[in-house]
Chains A and B, each alone.
Chain A
C-alpha cells in the first residue's frame, strides 16, 4: 500500500529524477576517460596551450570558452567553442 501511495504522490507532485539518467551521464564521462589516456592535468595543459595559440591571432572571451571531450558512436572528439571578442588580427601575430 505504501508503495502505491508513494507512486501516486510521485505522479501528482512530480517523481524524483530517474536514476538511469545518472547512470547514462556518468557512463559517458567514464568511457571518455577510459579511452583518452590523459590525466585531468594534461587535459588542462592542452587546453591552455591551444588557447595560447588562438589568442595570438584573435582576442578571446575567456569566460565563454568551452572545451570538452565528447563521445558519439564510440568515437571521441574534442569539442571546443571559443567566443571571439575581436576578429581582427593582432599586431603581434
Chain B
C-alpha cells in the first residue's frame, strides 16, 4: 500500500523542507521507492536542499498543465536507489494548481512509489490546501517557540477537518541546554499543549546548515546527530517502535559541575 505524507507547519522556516528531504532520503535508504514533491510553487527550495537543482528540466505545474509527462519531470537522485524529486515551478504562483490537480497527481505517483512526501509551503491558504489534498497522513513540524506552536495548533485543526488521521508531531531545533535551564519548553510541555502523538525530535544543530550547503541531506551521514534523528523518524514513519533517546547532555563546565553536585540528572531523556 502506497502512502502520501504531507509535511506541514503553518509557520515558515521551522524545518518542513529539511524534514521532507531527510525523510524522503531516509525512506529511500531503507529500500523504499520515494517521490518527494515540492509543493511550494514560486519559492522552490527542496531541489537545493537535495542538491538536485542543476538537473531540473520540467516542473510540477508543467505536469499538471500537460506540457510534459510525469516521468519526464521526475528527477532521479543518483546517490540512493529509489529517490525521486518532483520540483516546484519557480516562475508561477500557487493558483496555477488546484486541489483536484494535486489529488490526481498524487494518485498517479502512488502507482509508482511506496511513499509520496509533499513539502508544504507556509501558510493556510491555496498552497496548504493543494498540499493536503492528496495526503493520507500529515506530519506537523514545529519548533519549541510560542509562535510556531500557535501556528501548529491552527494547522492541526485544519488537518483534522480534512478527514485525515490524527497528525503526528516533529519537534525541530530542540536545544537540550536551554531546556535544562528552563528557557525552552520541553517535550512534555509541547505535547501537553498540542495533544498529538510525537514522531520525532531533531536537535538544533549546525549539521543542518552544513548539509544544506552541500546539498547532501544529513540522513546520508551516519555520524550526524541530525541524520540519526531523521533515521529514527524514518523508522517510526514506517511503523517501527523506536524509543526516544536522550540527546547529548550539555557539556559546558557548569552543566558538568551541576551533575557532580547532583543538581541535574545525568542524562536528560528527550
Contacts and interface: CB of A to CB of B under 8 A. Distances in A.
B182 A4 contact: no
Interface string A21-55: 10110111011001100000000000000000000
A26 to B, nearest CB: 6
Contact of A3 (B189, B196, B254): B254
Given A23-B185, A34-B150, A7 B195 contact: no
Contacts of A19: 182-183
A85 interface: no
B interface, over-half SS: helix
A34 B185 contact: no
B194 A20 contact: no
B240 interface: no
A11 interface: yes
B181 interface: yes
Nearest to A31: B153
B253 interface: yes
How many B residues are at the interface, by size bracket?
20 to 34
A74 interface: yes
Interface string B123-139: 00000000000000000
How many A residues are at the interface, by size bracket?
20 to 34
B146 interface: yes
Given A3-B254, A73-B195, A74-B195, A30 B186 contact: no
A68 to B, nearest CB: 17
Contacts of A21: 182
A79 interface: no
Contact of B153 (A4, A15, A20, A34): A34
B195 A30 contact: no
Contact of A11 (B149, B150, B263): B263
B1 interface: no
B247 to A, nearest CB: 17
Interface string A55-81: 000000000000000000110000000
A61 B128 CA distance: 50
Given A18-B182, A34-B153, A27 B254 contact: no
Contact of B150 (A15, A20, A24, A27): A27
Given A4-B254, A24-B193, A34-B150, 14 more contacts: A4-B253, A7-B254, A19-B182, A21-B182, A26-B146, A27-B146, A27-B150, A30-B150, A31-B153, A31-B193, A73-B195, A74-B153, A74-B194, A74-B195
6 contacts: A23-B189, A28-B193, A30-B146, A31-B153, A74-B153, A74-B156
Interface of B: 145-146, 149-150, 153-154, 156-157, 179, 181-186, 189, 193-196, 253-254, 263
